[in-house]
A and B are shown apart, each in its own frame.
Chain A
Amino acid sequence: MQETELHDLSDDADYAASQQQGSSSMMRTDSIKRSSSNEPDGAEIVYSKDNVAIHPTQFVSERISGRLKLIKQGSSLFMTWLPYKEQNSNAKQIEKDRNLYTIKAVPFTEVRSIRKHAPPLGWQYVIIVLSSGLAFPPFYFYNGGVRQFLATIKQHVFLVRSAEDASVFLVNDFENPLQRTFSSLELPRVVSVASGQSTPISVDESLLKENQERINGYESSSISQYNGRQRQKVHDPARDISIQVLEKFSLVTKFARETTSQLFRDGHSNGFGAFEKMFDSQPAQDDLHKASNDAERVTDEIAVASDPLEFDKLSLVWGKPRQPPLGSEEITYSDLLKRFGSAGKVNGNVILWATFLDNEGRVMDSEALRKRIFYGGVEHELRREVWGLLLGYYAYDSTYAEREYLRTIKKSEYETIKHQWQSISPEQARRFTKFRERKGLIDKDVVRTDRAFTFYDGDDNPNVNLLRDTLLTYSFYNFDLGYCQGMSDLMSPILFVMEDESESFWCFVQLMERLGPNFNRDQSGMHSQLFALSKLVELLDSPLHNYFKQNDCLNYFFCFRWLLIQFKREFEYEETMRLWEVLWTHYLSEHLHLYVCVAVLKRYRRKIMREQMDFDTLLKFINELSGRINLDAILRDAEALCICAGENGAANIPPGTPPSLPIDSGLFYSQQEDEVL
């Protein structure tokens, strides 16, 4: 408490406002004492504000207004936000959103911090971050009242301004605020609250499926609307590309809310019973709960431990909606005039891409570029150049001319390496078993790689030969690593994108700098990733982890194919390319691919546990998910999980886990015993 002085709010206008209310001099402890003695059971509304809205999407029509309240019950302060009932609500989507976003009662003991945003234009809004690290979407105060909101909270709970960021107010922060950062999420603590409940929150697959469909629908409509109304978007701070750290946490936490409602249902929790009754009369509640009850009636004999981070229902609000790929935005004639003076004949894709480059072709802000790609991928025609950058073949600060020069140099370098094997005569080959075997293996594999895909189909397809030549050349360039099955799957899309032998080769070389250990003969790269994956599941879904443990599935071999070739066999060709470029941005994490694994497993966690899948069944089930995974939904989940896990997640991934570079950079690959197969 001695820190209170240091971080006093007396310099703050909000604090000043609270003074005017006459009760601000009351210390927090006093507040507790007084309220507990005066109103042991009753609940008192201490703050109520109308027209506080959330903006689930960028579209005005989809905003949801409601009433925000602070309610005091005994010594505890709770927050509720109930959306208004729409009269002419024909849009089912909005209706569902309303239910989804409704906040019944969150105790402030669960709140970590509140961030106040006061943009010079537009509405003030706050972002409320829970101690789990999750957060509610921004609340926009259409009629003002942020100051009063904070002042009221301060009257009832301990609230201090963060020493790190003046717009952040820490709730119940009794430690030295200087020692605390927002990245140190305390997930496990909150997780234990949920998993400790005797009656797990259960949601049936059908509900999840419905949600997934809804996400799909949402997505396509959002994209089409985006295309249709481009540039009409009002300035929306929460959607701003330069999003602040805290806003990354702006993930509605159904989990936290349900945890709360669990607490409320359990009457033994101190005095919550009366409080719940009060909310029972509120509209638009419990729909989710009701739905799950209905579904449960069908069949659900085996109790499945609830998901501590029940994001399945939340994907819509977790992470951000994907954008159309970079380069796909429509550009109007007036945009062109504005930007370049004349429209010329350049197409829009190139122009938008060009906005990331300076006059000489340098990427001005690689972070912004990577972020843009992370949220939407790249239009195909731009991939040639962008992949080269993402993979590190081109430096971000290289100019057009430098890249052109590099291509020339590298082309001749490639030819030199290629010539090494091309010059091997049949006589020499006869005495060169390793070469014969390696070539034989590659020859056999390139004719079994993506032959159903137009680029490689048909007899005597020259692209199949290019695939062979680049792989064989790589096995000479990196003779220690050689060739291993799976490499052709990784090379195939690169060759398709680059449409140039030498360029493909060098991009593949760069990719192998990251993923080479996947193909170590001792499988060390694979094992380290599988291990990291098991640690992440343990962190993000301990019930599922325990299930795997009990069923002897902790080796995670069922995820082997996912990791070996970066989900290449799980998605359509185009989707694979999109996934790869997202992974290659290393935007949120180098190891996003591991979070993608966790996201898929979590999406099916209930089915896995309910059906009591053993290793064999699980392996078969995972294999058969191929072609059935919704990429956008999974990427959103993965993003959310990655954010949730924060530094805890990163700490669970051992250094040197691919695609990170090996710790001992002196020895990239363990010496490969050549294979005779």
Chain B
Amino acid sequence: MSYAYLFKYIIIGDTGVGKSCLLLQFTDKRFQPVHDLTIGVEFGARMITIDNKPIKLQIWDTAGQESFRSITRSYYRGAAGALLVYDITRRETFNHLASWLEDARQHANANMTIMLIGNKCDLAHRRAVSTEEGEQFAKEHGLIFMEASAKTAQNVEEAFIKTAATIYKKIQDGVFDVSNESYGIKVGYGGIPGPSGGRDGASSQAGGCCS
């Protein structure tokens, strides 16, 4: 299928926070609690529409275990967007965000859009990280933030699309040189780089949920 742009995303975060489930929910619209743990990296892709333009998201779902960090770092190269995921029921996954962010800052290009996702917000009764803490962290580090649930699909669509909309806006604003693929953006057939009125066609609004 033809697209105006192709954005490369990378999903990072501790093991077991639900990275693969978020991807599957987004690409296949289903929740599969029983799936093989990720070794190395897995791929997913989906078309979305922003500002009436077809955009293809190519999503890299990485292994979360610390041992594999040195390998994971090589996947950052050329990513336009990152979903940094933690599990709201496991405090330690939130505590590790700074180290993930450091990796991302160091190995990705500086203009990469990062979306912080507090996953498993359906498990409110086991919450170990408050929405406010997540918001605060995002604010301090200049990230977009959402709580989501791969299980109920809440905010999953929104998280991926909001990230894309932000990237799209950066293109419109001329932040990226889209002819340089190291920004994680490929111009597809029919994609005309350059401002088109600056409309932000994001289909949804961000925001905390599951309070």
Q: What residues make up the interface of A, taking CB atoms closer than 8 Å to B?
A: 441, 444-445, 447-452, 484-486, 488-489, 519-523, 526, 555, 557, 560-561, 564-565, 569, 615-616, 619-620, 623-624, 675-677
CA distance A451 to B37 in the complex (A): 10
Residue contact A523 to B70, C-beta cutoff 8 Å: yes
Chain A residues, CB < 8 A from B64: 677
CB distance from A673 to the nearest CB of B (A): 8
Residue-by-residue, is B37-77 near A (CB-CB < 8 Å gives 1, otherwise 0)? 10111110000000000000000000111111011001101
Q: Would you mind naming 15 contact pairs between A and B with Cβ atoms under 8 Å apart?
A: A441-B15, A441-B65, A448-B35, A448-B36, A451-B35, A452-B34, A485-B37, A485-B67, A526-B71, A616-B77, A619-B41, A623-B43, A676-B96, A677-B65, A677-B66
In-complex Cβ contact of B41 among A445, A486, A521, A623 (8 A): A623
Chain B residues, CB < 8 A from A561: 39-40
Number of A-B contacts (CB under 8 A): 81
CA distance A564 to B63 in the complex (A): 13
Chain A residues, CB < 8 A from B35: 448, 451
Residue contact A677 to B14, C-beta cutoff 8 Å: yes
**In the complex, which residue of chain A has the Cβ closest to the Cβ of B35?**
A448
Closest 3 CB pairs of A and B: A448-B37, A561-B40, A675-B66
In-complex Cβ contact of B68 among A448, A485, A569, A624 (8 A): A485
Residue contact B40 to A560, C-beta cutoff 8 Å: yes
Q: Which residues B71-102 have CB closer than 8 A to chain A? A: 71, 74-75, 77-78, 92-93, 96
CA distance A401 to B141 in the complex (A): 66
B16 located at the interface, meaning its Cβ lies under 8 Å from any Cβ of chain A in the complex: yes
Q: A448-B34, A452-B34, A677-B64 are in contact. List 15 more A-B contacts (CB 8 A).
A: A445-B37, A448-B35, A448-B37, A451-B35, A451-B36, A488-B37, A565-B39, A569-B36, A616-B77, A624-B43, A675-B67, A676-B92, A677-B15, A677-B16, A677-B93
CA distance A317 to B8 in the complex (A): 44
CB distance from A8 to the nearest CB of B (A): 61
Residue contact B66 to A569, C-beta cutoff 8 Å: no
Chain B residues, CB < 8 A from A619: 41, 75
Q: What residues make up the interface of B, taking CB atoms closer than 8 Å to A?
A: 8, 14-16, 34-37, 39-43, 63-68, 70-71, 74-75, 77-78, 92-93, 96
CA distance A448 to B39 in the complex (A): 11
Chain B residues, CB < 8 A from A520: 67
Residue contact B36 to A486, C-beta cutoff 8 Å: no
Chain A residues, CB < 8 A from B71: 523, 526, 557, 560
CA distance A523 to B67 in the complex (A): 7
**Given known contacts A441-B15, A444-B16, A484 and B65 CB-to-CB distance under 8 angstroms:** yes
Chain A residues, CB < 8 A from B14: 677
CA distance A564 to B68 in the complex (A): 11
Residue contact B34 to A620, C-beta cutoff 8 Å: no
Residue contact B34 to A451, C-beta cutoff 8 Å: yes
CA distance A555 to B96 in the complex (A): 27
Residue contact B34 to A484, C-beta cutoff 8 Å: no
Chain A residues, CB < 8 A from B15: 441, 444, 485, 677
Chain A residues, CB < 8 A from B43: 620, 623-624
Chain A residues, CB < 8 A from B63: 485
Chain A residues, CB < 8 A from B93: 677
In-complex Cβ contact of B96 among A569, A616, A624, A677 (8 A): A677
CA distance A362 to B141 in the complex (A): 66
CB distance from A561 to the nearest CB of B (A): 4
CB distance from B16 to the nearest CB of A (A): 5
Residue contact A616 to B78, C-beta cutoff 8 Å: yes
CB distance from B21 to the nearest CB of A (A): 11
Residue contact A449 to B66, C-beta cutoff 8 Å: no
**Given known contacts A485-B15, A555-B74, A619-B41, A449 and B36 CB-to-CB distance under 8 angstroms:** yes
CB distance from A185 to the nearest CB of B (A): 34
CB distance from B32 to the nearest CB of A (A): 10
In-complex Cβ contact of B67 among A450, A521, A676 (8 A): A521
**In the complex, which residue of chain A has the Cβ closest to the Cβ of B92?**
A676
CA distance A675 to B95 in the complex (A): 13
CA distance A520 to B69 in the complex (A): 12
**In the complex, which residue of chain A has the Cβ closest to the Cβ of B69?**
A523
CA distance A675 to B8 in the complex (A): 29
Residue contact B39 to A450, C-beta cutoff 8 Å: no
CA distance A448 to B93 in the complex (A): 19
In-complex Cβ contact of A564 among B16, B39, B92 (8 A): B39
Residue contact B39 to A489, C-beta cutoff 8 Å: yes
Chain B residues, CB < 8 A from A484: 65, 67
**In the complex, which residue of chain A has the Cβ closest to the Cβ of B65?**
A485
CB distance from A33 to the nearest CB of B (A): 62
**In the complex, which residue of chain B has the Cβ closest to the Cβ of A523?**
B70
Chain B residues, CB < 8 A from A624: 43
Chain B residues, CB < 8 A from A557: 71, 74
CB distance from A103 to the nearest CB of B (A): 44
Chain B residues, CB < 8 A from A565: 39
Chain B residues, CB < 8 A from A489: 39
**In the complex, which residue of chain A has the Cβ closest to the Cβ of B45?**
A620
In-complex Cβ contact of A677 among B37, B41, B92 (8 A): B92
In-complex Cβ contact of A447 among B34, B66, B68 (8 A): B34
CA distance A557 to B62 in the complex (A): 13
CB distance from A390 to the nearest CB of B (A): 24
Chain B residues, CB < 8 A from A615: 74, 77
Chain A residues, CB < 8 A from B37: 444-445, 448-449, 485, 488
CA distance A484 to B64 in the complex (A): 11
**In the complex, which residue of chain A has the Cβ closest to the Cβ of B63?**
A485
**Given known contacts A561-B39, A569-B39, A676-B96, A521 and B34 CB-to-CB distance under 8 angstroms:** no
CB distance from B22 to the nearest CB of A (A): 15
Chain A residues, CB < 8 A from B65: 441, 484-485, 675, 677
CA distance A616 to B36 in the complex (A): 22
Chain B residues, CB < 8 A from A444: 15-16, 37
Chain B residues, CB < 8 A from A623: 40-43
Chain B residues, CB < 8 A from A452: 34, 36
CA distance A521 to B77 in the complex (A): 22
Chain B residues, CB < 8 A from A560: 40, 71
**In the complex, which residue of chain B has the Cβ closest to the Cβ of A674?**
B66
**In the complex, which residue of chain A has the Cβ closest to the Cβ of B39?**
A561
Residue contact B67 to A519, C-beta cutoff 8 Å: yes
Chain A residues, CB < 8 A from B92: 676-677
**In the complex, which residue of chain A has the Cβ closest to the Cβ of B20?**
A448
Chain B residues, CB < 8 A from A569: 36, 39
Chain A residues, CB < 8 A from B36: 448-452, 569
Residue of A444, A452, A560 with highest tally of chain B CB at under 10 A? A560
**In the complex, which residue of chain A has the Cβ closest to the Cβ of B15?**
A677
CA distance A675 to B16 in the complex (A): 14
CB distance from A134 to the nearest CB of B (A): 35
CA distance A561 to B64 in the complex (A): 14
CA distance A557 to B41 in the complex (A): 10
CA distance A192 to B37 in the complex (A): 44
Residue contact A616 to B66, C-beta cutoff 8 Å: no
